[in-house]
């Protein structure tokens, strides 16, 4: 038998670091890996240079003459004919920029759309400022109720002396954002209720929630849009002709609610029964139990999937062009049919792709940040 | 041991039967518990101990029999269940703290939402209780940052926060590392001195001997023997209990 001294703590051995080691470990660790690395490099060699040539080096950037502090820059703006076909003609996007962003929204009123954009940006600032402050929940809740209402009346007008802008004039990125945000924000609470409904002990509620979710999920969005757009009006023969955009919004909301419901249900199932029992044992009622204990945890787990589902919806909004709504994607064909800019769809599609990517990638990054912020595991 | 004087009984269980599907988990349980009494329930696993105490705050539904807690008879009525639960607190084997809330918020949840206390008075009381279980300095942390023993002490403080008349302990130390068991038992011994009614399902025989006024031995869904600690350990009557004590006490 023996007694041993307690040992001192030591630093871990310093392993090789640096770029060469990184390359060897990640790119050239085995024969297969070397092969794949070389193949990937070759692919990049084929794709990247022509892409850069098309979008930047050979592309036309003649946006016309302009002056900064009295110094004149540029030359006469390029036209479709002197732009050439072998590379991008960005003056087309430059000239049609307003169409892509606002559609047919009256040009003298676009300041209203712009202020909504500005308010959205401010929203993020507010969320950041009041976070962890006393009474932040109240401020945020009010903001999230007031903000959509104010935004809607700013864009639609018809009150406080604001000139009314009919929905058929809405278009471009504005319309895309309206559809996506209404679709996501309105369907979210409905989705939560459906998820709770499906889990409910009350058979009738659980039955109807399940039927609804499974029915909607079995039907493509485009079918639901068609139904809402063309079949629904047949039921309202008495001259009831409600707004085309509203019909699309209802269809998308009902569709998205079913998907959110399944995502939230996944989160609910991950909550151990002990949490329900502890909440019950304390004496919380059903609403308190779900609002204070179950949903905060379930939604936290669901953030990646909720955002994933929202991203899908954002992309799916482009389907509304099929029922004649002029979203950003629809603007590509619209603008490339302009007699002065015939055949410039490619530039349009690239522009729409980049815009979409900026929004969707931001959403994805933001979700990652939320996950980190709400994490209560082993920090400090 | 059962008292005939019903006035002092805070829990009265009569002819309680419970089934899980075809399986009968509780068989004809009769048990009266006086106010301030400290009961330890033991027995082999699957004997229905946990099921029995979970019937007291209606976490388990039962098919036959009566459970009366502090004069309120348990039925499906949600209002009655809630009013019983506001007087009966429970400590679970796996702590069941709310991981998304800080320690102090775990404690104040019940007082604020069920007992309509103000935030500041609930918080003040919570901090006092945390002090009592010796983890005042961890108040702003989250449950997952604490050790098992600390978490269970938080759970006990949470159970106390609503000033319950009855405390139910469902194997509070069986999920703990051996080193942490005593810190939880110490808190429970302290509690036992204060006259709160306690029902503890536990295998900690040392604890039972020290604080229990009555020990109940269960097997296969029924009460086999109930006695004061002295008789229970030294003069067990039934063969089943003799065998059980033999198995747990020889090592």
- Does residue B7 surpass a pLDDT of 60? no
- Average model confidence (pLDDT) across chain A: 84
Distance to chain B for A89, nearest Cα, Å: 53
In the three-class reduction of DSSP (H, G, I as helix; E, B as strand; rest coil), residue B88 is classed as strand
Q: Find out whether B10 and B33 touch, Cβ atoms under 8 Å.
A: yes
Tell me which chain A residues have a C-beta less than 8 angstroms from the C-beta of B82: 283, 285
Could you say which of 1.10.3720.10, 3.30.70.1140, 1.10.10.10, 1.20.1340.10 is the CATH number of the domain covering A166-374? Answer: 1.10.3720.10
What are the tens digits of pLDDT across the range A325-345?
A: 888 888 888 887 777 777 788
What's the pLDDT band for A114 if we cut at 50, 70, 90?
confident
Q: Where are the domains of chain A?
A: 166-374
| Closest chain B CA to residue A281 | B85
Q: B217 near B224, Cβ under 8 Å?
A: yes
CA of residue B96 relative to chain centroid, distance: 14
Question: Are residues B94 and A274, on separate chains, in Cβ contact within 8 Å?
Answer: yes
DSSP output for B37-80: -EEEEE-STTSSHHHHHHHHTTSS--SEEEEEETTEEP-S-HHH
Q: Which residue has the tokens 């194997």?
A: B171
Is the distance from CB of B95 to CB of B174 less than 8 angstroms?
A: no
Q: How many CA atoms lie within 13 A of A346 on its CB side?
A: 11
Query: A292 to chain B, minimum CA–CA distance in Å?
Result: 9
Is residue A284 within 8 A of residue A293, CB to CB? The reply is yes
Contacts of A277 in chain B (CB under 8 A): 59, 90, 92, 96
Q: Is the pLDDT of residue A319 over 50?
A: yes
Residue A160 has what pLDDT? 78
Q: Are A193 and A259 in contact (CB under 8 A)?
A: no
pLDDT at A125 over 50: yes
Whether A209 contacts A190, CB under 8 Å: no
Q: Hey, which residues does B40 pair with through a beta bridge?
A: B200, B215
Contact B78 A274 (CB under 8 A): no
Confidence of residue A241 (pLDDT cuts 50, 70, 90): low
Q: What is the pLDDT of residue B40?
A: 94
Q: What is the ipTM of this complex?
A: 0.90
Residue A344 has φ and ψ, to the nearest 5°, of: -105, 30
Residue A377 with chain B: CB contacts under 8 Å: 99, 142, 144
Q: Is the pLDDT of residue A38 over 90?
A: yes
What pLDDT sits at residue A15?
62
Nearest CB among B96, B110, B144 relative to A274 is that of: B96
Q: Tens digit of pLDDT for each residue in A140-154? A: 788 888 888 888 888
**Three-class HEC string of A169-235:** HECHHHHHHHHHHHHHHHHHHHHHHHHHHHHCCCHHHHHHHHHHHHHHHCCCHHHHHHHHHHHHHHH
CA-based R_g, chain B, Å: 18
**SS3 of residue B19 by DSSP:** strand
pLDDT band at B6 (very low <50, low <70, confident <90, very high): very low
Q: Is the pLDDT of residue A318 over 80?
A: yes
pLDDT of residue A74: 64
Contact A26, A36 (CB under 8 A): no
Closest-CA distance, A282 to chain B, in angstroms, reads: 6
Lowest-confidence region among A101-105, A215-219, B35-39, B110-114: A101-105
Closest CA to B71 of B30, B10, B15: B10
pLDDT surpasses 70 at B1: no
pLDDT of residue B51: 93
Separation of alpha carbons A175 and A165, rounded Å: 13
pLDDT value at A116 more than 90: no
The predicted-structure confidence for B39-54, as pLDDT tens digits, reads as follows 999 998 889 999 999 9
**pLDDT at position A28 over 70:** yes
The model carries a pTM of 0.83
pLDDT band at A14 (very low <50, low <70, confident <90, very high): low
B5 has a pLDDT exceeding 50: no
Sorting pLDDT into bands at 50, 70 and 90, what band is B76? Answer: confident
CB B181 within 8 A of CB B93: no
CB B216 within 8 A of CB B228: no
Name the more confident of A375 and B187.
B187
Q: What is the pLDDT of residue B70?
A: 87
Distance from CA of B102 to the nearest CA of A (A): 9
Q: Where are the alpha helices (DSSP H) in A270-375?
A: 273-282, 286-288, 295-316, 328-336, 345-374
| CA A88 vs CA A45, A59, A331, A333: distances in Å | 20, 5, 18, 16
Query: B145: which chain A residues are within 8 Å (Cβ-Cβ)?
Result: 378-380
Arithmetic mean of pLDDT, A310-319: 90
User: What 3-state class would DSSP assign to B100?
Assistant: coil
CB A164 within 8 A of CB A156: yes
The confidence score (pLDDT) of residue B248 equals 82
Which pLDDT value is given to residue B73?
A: 87
| Token pair recorded at residue A162 | 């604001």
pLDDT more than 70, % of chain A: 91
pLDDT at A271 over 80: yes
Tokens of B72: 């309120």
Of A272, A282, A377, the CB nearest to B109: A282
pLDDT at B2 over 50: no
Q: Residue B148: enclosing H or E segment and its boundaries?
A: helix B148-160
Among chain A residues, the shortest Cα distance to B81 is held by A283
What pLDDT, in 10s, does the model give residues B140-195? 999 999 999 999 999 999 999 988 999 999 999 988 888 889 888 988 888 888 88
Alpha-carbon distance of B206 to B189, in angstroms, equals 11
Cα dihedral A285, A289, A290, A292, rounded to 10, equals 130
What pLDDT does B251 receive? 62
> Is it the case that residue A310 has pLDDT exceeding 50?
yes
Mean pLDDT of A26-45: 90
Long-range own/partner contacts, residues A197-205 (CB < 8 A, 24 or more apart):
A198/A261, A198/A265, A199/A265, A199/A268
> What per-residue confidence (pLDDT) applies to B146?
92
């Amino acid at each position: 038998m023996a007694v041993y001294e307690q040992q001192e703590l030591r630093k871990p051995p310093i392993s090789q670091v640096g770029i060469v080691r990184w390359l060897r470990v990640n790119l050239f660790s085995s024969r297969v890996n070397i092969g794949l690395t070389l193949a990937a490099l070759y692919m990049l060699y084929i794709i990247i240079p022509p892409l850069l040539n098309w979008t930047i080096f050979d592309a036309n950037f003649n946006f016309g003459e302009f002056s900064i502090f009295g110094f004149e820059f540029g030359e006469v703006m390029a036209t479709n004919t002197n732009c050439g076909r072998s590379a991008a003609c960005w003056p087309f996007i430059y000239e049609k920029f307003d169409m892509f962003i606002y559609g047919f929204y009256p040009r003298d009123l676009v300041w209203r759309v712009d202020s909504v954009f500005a308010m959205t940006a401010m929203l993020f600032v507010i969320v950041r400022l009041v976070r962890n402050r006393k009474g932040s929940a109240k401020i945020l809740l009010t903001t999230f109720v007031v903000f959509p209402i104010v935004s809607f009346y700013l864009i639609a007008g018809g009150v406080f002396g604001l000139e009314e802008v009919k929905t058929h004039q809405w278009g471009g990125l504005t319309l895309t954002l309206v559809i996506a945000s209404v679709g996501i924000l309105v369907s979210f609470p409905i989705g939560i209720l459906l998820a709770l409904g499906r889990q409910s002990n009350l058979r009738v509620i659980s039955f109807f929630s399940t039927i609804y979710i499974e029915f909607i999920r079995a039907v493509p969005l485009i079918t639901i849009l068609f139904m809402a757009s063309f079949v629904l009006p047949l039921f309202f023969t008495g001259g009831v002709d409600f707004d085309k955009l509203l019909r699309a919004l209802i269809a998308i909301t009902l569709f998205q609610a079913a998907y959110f419901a399944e995502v939230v249900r996944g989160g609910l199932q991950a909550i151990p029964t002990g949490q329900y029992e502890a909440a019950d044992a304390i004496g919380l009622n059903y609403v308190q139990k779900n609002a204070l204990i179950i949903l905060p945890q379930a939604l936290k787990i669901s953030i990646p999937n909720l955002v994933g589902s929202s991203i899908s919806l954002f992309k799916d909004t482009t389907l509304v062009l099929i029922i004649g709504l002029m979203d950003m994607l629809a603007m590509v064909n619209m603008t490339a049919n302009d007699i002065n800019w015939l055949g410039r769809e490619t530039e349009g599609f690239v522009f729409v792709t980049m815009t979409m990517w900026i929004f969707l990638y931001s959403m994805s990054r933001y979700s990652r940040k939320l996950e980190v912020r709400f994490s209560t595991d082993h920090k400090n | 041991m059962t008292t005939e004087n019903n006035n002092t009984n805070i829990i009265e269980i009569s002819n309680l039967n419970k089934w899980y599907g075809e399986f009968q988990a509780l068989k004809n349980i009769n048990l009266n518990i006086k106010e301030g009494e400290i009961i330890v329930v033991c027995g082999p696993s699957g004997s229905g101990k946990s099921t029995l105490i979970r019937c007291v705050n209606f976490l388990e539904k039962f098919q036959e029999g009566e459970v009366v807690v502090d004069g309120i008879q348990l039925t499906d009525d949600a209002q009655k269940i809630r009013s019983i639960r506001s007087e009966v607190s429970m400590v679970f084997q796996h702590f069941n703290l709310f991981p998304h809330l800080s320690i102090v918020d775990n404690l104040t949840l019940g007082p604020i939402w069920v007992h309509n206390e103000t935030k500041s008075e609930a918080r003040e009381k919570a901090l006092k209780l945390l002090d009592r279980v010796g983890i005042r300095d961890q108040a702003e942390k989250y449950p997952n940052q604490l050790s098992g023993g600390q978490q269970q002490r938080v759970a006990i403080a949470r159970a106390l926060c609503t000033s319950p008349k009855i405390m139910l302990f469902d194997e509070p130390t069986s999920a703990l590392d051996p080193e942490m068991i005593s810190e939880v038992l110490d808190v429970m011994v302290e509690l036992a001195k204060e006259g709160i009614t306690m029902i503890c399902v536990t295998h900690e025989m040392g604890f039972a001997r020290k604080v229990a006024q009555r020990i109940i031995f269960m097997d296969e869904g029924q009460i086999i023997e109930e006695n004061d600690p002295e008789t229970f350990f030294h003069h067990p009557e039934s063969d089943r209990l003799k065998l059980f004590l033999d198995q747990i006490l020889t090592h």
